[in-house]
A and B are shown apart, each in its own frame.
Chain A
């Protein structure tokens, strides 16, 4: 063979241990009492169950339909009844449960109506692709990527090389080896279907040189076809997709890319066989070849197993004693994962069940310190510096790990295998990858939140502007009106009055400024006092005194301003109205204070949100300030409300004074309100689990009595009037 074989960096030669299982022909595993078929046996979206509990299903009937482009259906491996559709333990490294369809076989193994196509070339390619999808074929080498996705070639893409991955480089596994020895013709047929679909220039079958029988069988089967068997030297991990592509074509798939980017498509031996069965025989993927090996297995070899066969049952068939069980590995010894539950079913990707005893696979020994010997770097098939990645993972310097191309690690385990310090390197990399993924997700979330926050800020600012604009318009209109109104009396009055008014306005403004500044000083002092109280300062008393003084001053200034204003108001236009206005004034002041406090609170909140978003250090201080302002705002609001209520009462009382009936009615209404309030307070206390307060209950009772008295009084008055 003149074909040039490239080499990839590193690689290891672990003991092959293939002979134990490769020398017996494939056996039929048998029909278990129940089959547990997970709806997800592939990469992508889980299929949606389309049968109901109690339904009778036929062999090959669809149990669950594909849900999306990267998704596949699953089929009934035999005829029987659906016993359950529920969560069951599955083949997940973390022992996760997933939705499964349990079938109780009826033993008749009755096929659903199905039909193969011997001349698929007469069909449309889309139809063939659809058949492959409907057959539920996933990559059977281990990852389980829906094959149809790889087969659908984009129109702008030219696939130069089709590779059949028959390398099977993992120790112990011989499923593809046996399949090639016994069913080479069917594999080649499947491969030709694939070739017809993607129209490559060359079709290569990569096999490791430790499988001479398989090589011979495949060479015989491919004689006279376009397919070429290429023997590659035995080295782990030659069967890695990217490694095999490099071996056979010298091309490298770009980091993060797919083989099709470099004009290559890779399929597994088992997949090609399944495609043949799907197209030529019309059978969906309901069984596979699985290697049962390891020293605990009495009948080592390859078995044709129905999907959904529980692992425990299968091992029993192969003569595994439950007492011997120590470790159970699904997949090979290099990349397989430990299974903890014997109820886990065999699925489309289960190429091997490895049941070693403790002598064969001793328990892992404690990790020794890394001496940076670099053995790992010498064997890494993707040419990383594993010992550096290990340090970065261990010290959680994930940025550096990412920079050292952690993402390109294929987790083949070669580094861990050779590490003289017995460091479980791959575990460190999985940890670091997981952490990086989490960080990225959180980063994305944070970015999203920030964008939303900024959008909200922008919206609020816009609304504020709008409000401000409207307010100004209103103010302008009001001012114009006022000016109109004013213009009339001033025109009538003497010009001196106008001058007086101007002087008065000046003085008033001064007074206002004075009042505002004293108020400000008072507030500042108050704030200082508060912080001092919080910090336990020594000068509390002095501060308190100062605050009182300032308060007195501020009150005085305010009073002076108010009187001046009132006086001016009276002088400006001698109407009774300003008097009323002066009466209204305290309420207005309260209202304004409340509004100011609320605005300050909102502003502080905004500042806090901004600080939180930008991760400023003084968030705590800001939070305190917000809380403070909030209480103040609430207090002033409450004060305002109270004042308003009082005012209303007064007005009503004034209005009602003339009419005793009205007064009595009003009293009743007031008492009703009070009662309602009291009951509400009691209910709230009860709800919040604070326990029904006795005082609250007493309040309610008192309110009830008062209401009764008021009603009574009302009745009396009404009777009297009548």
Chain B
């Protein structure tokens, strides 16, 4: 009789990392639906492509690293990276854009740093920023949201496939996003007022619903306790405060209102899906609030005064750098201690 000898605890909550990651995938569904509704099948094609490439890269690298392939593929982390990157890539993107971005994200940003759990930077955002800097034109070619006016419909499956694989030129279809539009016409109230892109129900047309979709997904993640409220709350609060302040107290014509910032571009995707990537974010609760808040600040600063219309990816990567330090200085107060420890050296 051989009795199993393991140490306590002897029971475990059902679930594993794969389950955790799958929750993230489920949560992207509403946002993905909105993207597809307004911009056609491009994003779905991007996702399919990116997932395939990511799994191939992951397999290859795991083989090279002599790791059990099945065991690691099962954690779904590569799929999550691929999906998040594909959601951020424009639906007009040619296939090679997705290939380059995904390969870089998985091979360089993830595995060269040691694989899952070891990467200091969010792999999806590293891939995204690489593409944005290298191929600015392709990466900023968005479509006008379907239903903007009677002439605009979402491209059909054939058009989407053509854009992705046949080198179809997207220029004929393309149009500005609300963030682009405001950046272009800032300071010209008459243009801003008449631009229908900027006037949906709450914010920019189409994009407001995409953001609402990701907000719903975020709520699901909160409910499933995959993420905590700290990072999204911090980030959205910062955006709200800054945009509200500049819009009301400084100049409404140059600084759009908080709804515009909260429901445009990558705000909600960034707040609930990107900034909350646990591997690269701060981990203590106080640290998470600061981390999220500073992402919001950076996003606002770059959007408003920087060269790019959106800034979530840059802000997240910049704050990734700060996460370990934040963790050292935001330790919780342990039971039985008067005050929390700080830094790495024993102070008391």
Q: Chain A residues in contact with chain B, CB under 8 A?
A: 8-9, 12, 14-15, 93, 171, 242, 246, 252-257, 322, 325-329, 331, 333-340, 342, 354, 356, 361, 363-366, 368-375, 377-378, 381-385, 387-388, 399-400, 402-405, 408, 411, 413, 416-422, 424, 426-427, 430
Contacts and interface: CB of A to CB of B under 8 A. Distances in A.
Given A8-B335, A420-B17, A420-B20, A411 B8 contact: yes
Nearest to A416: B9
A94 to B, nearest CB: 10
Nearest to A409: B334
22 contacts: A252-B335, A325-B1, A327-B3, A327-B4, A327-B10, A334-B10, A336-B8, A338-B3, A338-B4, A364-B12, A368-B16, A371-B117, A371-B279, A373-B20, A378-B228, A385-B283, A385-B327, A403-B341, A403-B344, A405-B334, A420-B17, A422-B16
B77 interface: yes
> Which 4 residue pairs spanning A and B have beta carbons closest together?
A413-B9, A369-B117, A255-B336, A382-B335
Contacts of A365: 16
Given A368-B17, A421-B16, A426-B9, A375 B334 contact: no
B249 interface: no
Nearest to B7: A427
A422 B279 contact: no
A387 B324 CA distance: 12
Given A9-B335, A327-B4, A371-B20, A377 B13 contact: no
Contacts of A385: 283-284, 327, 331-332
B15 A420 contact: yes
Contacts of B283: 372, 374, 377, 385, 387-388
Interface in B1-42: 1, 3-13, 15-17, 19-20
B335 A369 contact: no
A102 to B, nearest CB: 22
B65 interface: no
A426 B10 CA distance: 11
Interface in B217-259: 225-226, 228
**Residue of A366, A385, A411 ringed by the most chain B CB atoms within 10 A:** A385
A364 B335 CA distance: 30
B2 to A, nearest CB: 9
Nearest to A334: B9
A368 B75 contact: yes
Grouping DSSP codes into helix (H, G, I), strand (E, B) and loop, the A interface class, with mixed when no group exceeds half, is: loop
A370 B285 CA distance: 18
A384 B334 contact: yes
A424 B7 contact: yes
A418 B10 CA distance: 12
Given A325-B1, A403-B346, A424-B7, 13 more contacts: A9-B332, A333-B8, A338-B5, A371-B117, A372-B279, A377-B284, A385-B283, A405-B334, A413-B8, A416-B12, A417-B13, A421-B16, A426-B9
B227 to A, nearest CB: 9
A382 B340 CA distance: 12
A255 B11 contact: no
Nearest to A405: B334
Contacts of B327: 385, 388
A383 B4 contact: no
A421 to B, nearest CB: 5
B7 A408 contact: no
Contacts of A382: 334-336
B137 interface: no
A713 to B, nearest CB: 82
A96 to B, nearest CB: 13
Contacts of B10: 327, 329, 333-334, 336, 338, 354, 356, 361
A14 B11 CA distance: 8
Q: At the interface, is chain B mostly helix, strand, loop or mixed?
A: loop
Contact of B3 (A339, A354, A416): A339
A338 B335 contact: no
Contact of A417 (B5, B7, B9, B17): B9
Given A369-B115, A381-B335, A334 B7 contact: no
Which residue of B11, B226, B285, B331 has the most chain A CB atoms within 10 A of its CB atom? B11
Contacts of A361: 10-11
Given A361-B10, A366-B71, A326 B335 contact: no
Given A368-B75, A403-B345, A421-B16, A325 B279 contact: no
B280 to A, nearest CB: 8
Contacts of A12: 13
Interface in B263-318: 278-279, 281, 283-285
- Among A255, A381, A403, chain B packs the most CB atoms within 10 A around the CB of A403
B331 A404 contact: yes
A339 B2 CA distance: 11
A255 B1 contact: no
A326 B5 CA distance: 10
B336 A404 contact: no
A713 B115 CA distance: 94
B10 to A, nearest CB: 4
A316 to B, nearest CB: 13
Most chain A CB atoms below 10 A, which of B5, B15, B19, B228? B5
A3 to B, nearest CB: 21
A325 B118 CA distance: 40
Contacts of A381: 335
B19 to A, nearest CB: 7
A340 B3 contact: yes
Contact of B7 (A171, A368, A403, A426): A426
Contacts of A333: 8-11
Contacts of B279: 371-372
A367 B331 CA distance: 26
B197 to A, nearest CB: 38
Contacts of A336: 8, 10
Contacts of B166: none
Contacts of B4: 326-327, 338, 363
A383 to B, nearest CB: 5
Given A372-B279, A373-B20, A383 B8 contact: no
Contacts of B1: 322, 325, 342
B346 A402 contact: yes
B13 A408 contact: no
A171 B285 CA distance: 29
Contacts of A426: 7-9
Nearest to B336: A255
Nearest to B11: A333
Contact of B334 (A370, A383, A417): A383
Contacts of A171: 11
A419 B6 CA distance: 17
A334 B11 contact: yes
B132 to A, nearest CB: 26
A640 to B, nearest CB: 57
Interface in B58-98: 71, 75, 77
B83 to A, nearest CB: 16
Nearest to B342: A403
B118 A337 contact: no
Most B CB within 10 A of own CB, among A242, A253, A383: A383
Contacts of A356: 10
Contacts of B5: 338, 340
A383 B7 contact: no
Contacts of B11: 14-15, 171, 333-334, 361, 417
B168 to A, nearest CB: 39
Contacts of A256: 336
A252 B337 CA distance: 9
B74 to A, nearest CB: 9
B3 A408 contact: no
A421 B13 CA distance: 11
Contacts of A377: 283-285, 332
Contacts of A254: 336-337
A15 B116 CA distance: 31
A591 to B, nearest CB: 58
Given A373-B20, A421-B17, A93 B337 contact: no
